[in-house]
Structure 1
């Protein structure tokens, strides 16, 4: 007897799987390596105030690709802009010296670069620079270790519920239970994560409930997106959702350095993905009293809505394809 031929379509499926995995690994390498190789200030918004000759000198001596210099009338205005996250820092130039206003909690890398810029301008004017950290990390965690370490638990808080709930409540009948379970988990886990960061390690400050709502929304956006993709596209959807959050969203989140430390295109993509938006929302709520929180909130709400919509479409499709009770009785008769 001739050897049995491969199942129809097996070779095609194998090729698609191999090519898909290769593309995934290549994308992951790009997401981790390219932004790191090109890290540095990229259009970091900063303010400057002082006499016109001084502000003009600052503009002329700064790289347009690194800094986005905006002129303000008074030191009070630049301080307010930093505290409201309109800019990452500012320089107030006077005849007595240079006052450098930074917000370390908004991005430690930008703080270091802006401090060096202020020192350089002060040296040119043969004066001294004074550093004013308007929004620092907490005294118990001055380097922000707790904040930067929170992203992975938040990402896993989106992936694990989708994986475990799909195993416990499989199939079409368990779809709605999986969605409800993911939302409930996000509430419980979000409160727990915020409690550890605020009351355990004292890594964040601000309103506990406001910060908790942001963490809950971030986890819910990630888990519902993965569940929706899985419900609509099966295991391929789950793999794509997990890779999107972990392998692409994690390195592009900018939570450790601040988004302006990544190349512009990568930074924009990272802030649009749920991990980056979650990190930005956590930073805004924990240190800036919710300033500039509207965009990441809207972004996460859209992701959650898309995930639930995909699950709803899969639910409707399952209802149409599921056999009716009368047909089941006929089949078993």
Structure 2
């Protein structure tokens, strides 16, 4: 059996194991980890609730608020995923299914478990998910196609031999078109995004550019193997680590943190912010995506410059020809 055959034989199981680890492990270990949760109301009634929730083995990061209005504002600003309001009739739960339907359901279960047996727990959805996507499945399903589109764009630009400024221009133009098409499908047609159309198109375009520029940058520095490196990083790790289908705070550490440093996770967070929360908490993911895009484009330009330096110029070719003739 030749070396190439052995390489293929052993590489496939390794990739399968890596894919199963990346996708199945975070899903199997989903649980709240320092999940930001508000508790509002008078201290005499709210403090016992806060202590009970804080005692759940680091599941929740408790934020205290004076009243329900302050808790609602914190939810709308994406400071917390939800809040428990202590009222004279018992606890009242505020959720935001637009932030994460999975977290909203988890909070309902947690609060009902701590409420007196048989006592009703009224729940108010402060920022509801759109009627066209009440479970957030369409938003969660958008991460992989956008990552694939970015990888494809970066690979095509590299394989077609575009270099330097031409490659950078092609990557930017492609990302803008992908963002517009994706916004037209998700917002205008499906209705699963309900924010400002242009902001959504910009978020989708920036997410695509971050992926495509990174893939093209790896290819410019490493050659064709860079496309594989970029594809594995963005699709095999970025997609399952993104937390878009649940929430970053539900993933095991350091997956939840690392996922937000990769374009799929940052792109999902940015899209959720502009689509449902009027841009609240959009700065960090936008900066992350911008950094990936800038570094990727810089690598594309540096790779082209290095290639030009290595290539013999016309004068050098002329001199070598004369020497050969002599």
* TM-score in terms of structure 1 length: 0.89
Equivalent residue runs for 1:1-150 within 5 Å: 25-62=16-53, 63-123=56-116, 127-150=119-142
Q: CA deviation at 1:236?
A: 2.1
Contact kept, 8 Å, 1:82 with 1:88, in 2: the verdict is yes
Q: Is the 8 A contact 2:38 2:65 kept in 1?
A: yes
Q: How many residues align?
A: 319
Any conservation in 2 of the 1:91–1:98 contact (CA below 8 Å)? yes
For 1:206 and 1:135, locate their aligned partners in 2 and report how far apart those are by CA, in whole Å.
Answer: 12
**Cα shift at 1:329:** 3.4
SS in 1 for 2:62: strand
Q: CA deviation at 1:16?
A: 9.3
Cα shift readout 1:237-267 (whole Å, capped 9, x = no counterpart): 1111100000000001111111111113110
* Secondary structure, counterpart of 1:47 in structure 2: strand
| Match among 216, 220, 225 for residue 205 of structure 2 | 216
Q: How big is the alpha-carbon RMSD for the aligned residues of Structure 1 and Structure 2?
A: 2.3
User: What does the per-residue CA deviation read over 1:266-325, in whole Å, with 9 as the maximum and x for residues that have no partner?
Assistant: 100111111100011010110001000000000011111111121122122112111111
Greater mean alpha carbon deviation, residues 99-108 or residues 139-148? 139-148
Mark the runs of 5 or more structure 2 residues left unpaired by the alignment.
none
Pairwise CA distance, 1:331: 4.8
Counterpart position of 1:309: 298
Once the two structures are overlaid, the 10-residue window that deviates more, 157-166 or 99-108, is 157-166
CA distance in 2, matches of 1:17, 1:234: 20
- Name the CA distance, whole Å, in 2 between partners of 1:265 and 1:61: 26
Cα deviations by residue, 1:176-220 (Å, 9 ceiling, x for unpaired): 322211110100110110111111000010111111111111100
Query: Closer, same or farther in 2 for the Cα pair 1:60/1:256, shift >3 Å?
Result: same
Distance 2:199 2:218 in 1: 29
Equivalent position of 1:4 in the other structure: none
Taking the aligned partners of 1:50 and 1:117, their CA distance within structure 2 comes to 18
CA distance change for structure 1 residues 166 and 213 in 2, over 3 Å: closer, same or farther?
A: same
Asked whether the 8 Å contact 1:145–1:203 carries over to 2, the reply is no
Structure 1 residue 60 displacement after superposition = 2.9
Residues 64-93 of structure 1 deviation map (CA, whole Å, 9 limit, x = unaligned): 421111111111100000011000000001
Give TM-score, length-normalised by structure 2.
0.91
Any idea what the Cα deviations from partners look like across 1:115-167, whole Å, max 9, x if unmatched? 1122233326x642111111111122222232112112210121111222223
User: Of 140, 143, 147, which residue of structure 2 is paired with 1:151?
Assistant: 143
Runs of 4+ in structure 1 off by over 6 angstroms are: 13-23
Deviates more, 1:199-208 or 1:126-135: 126-135
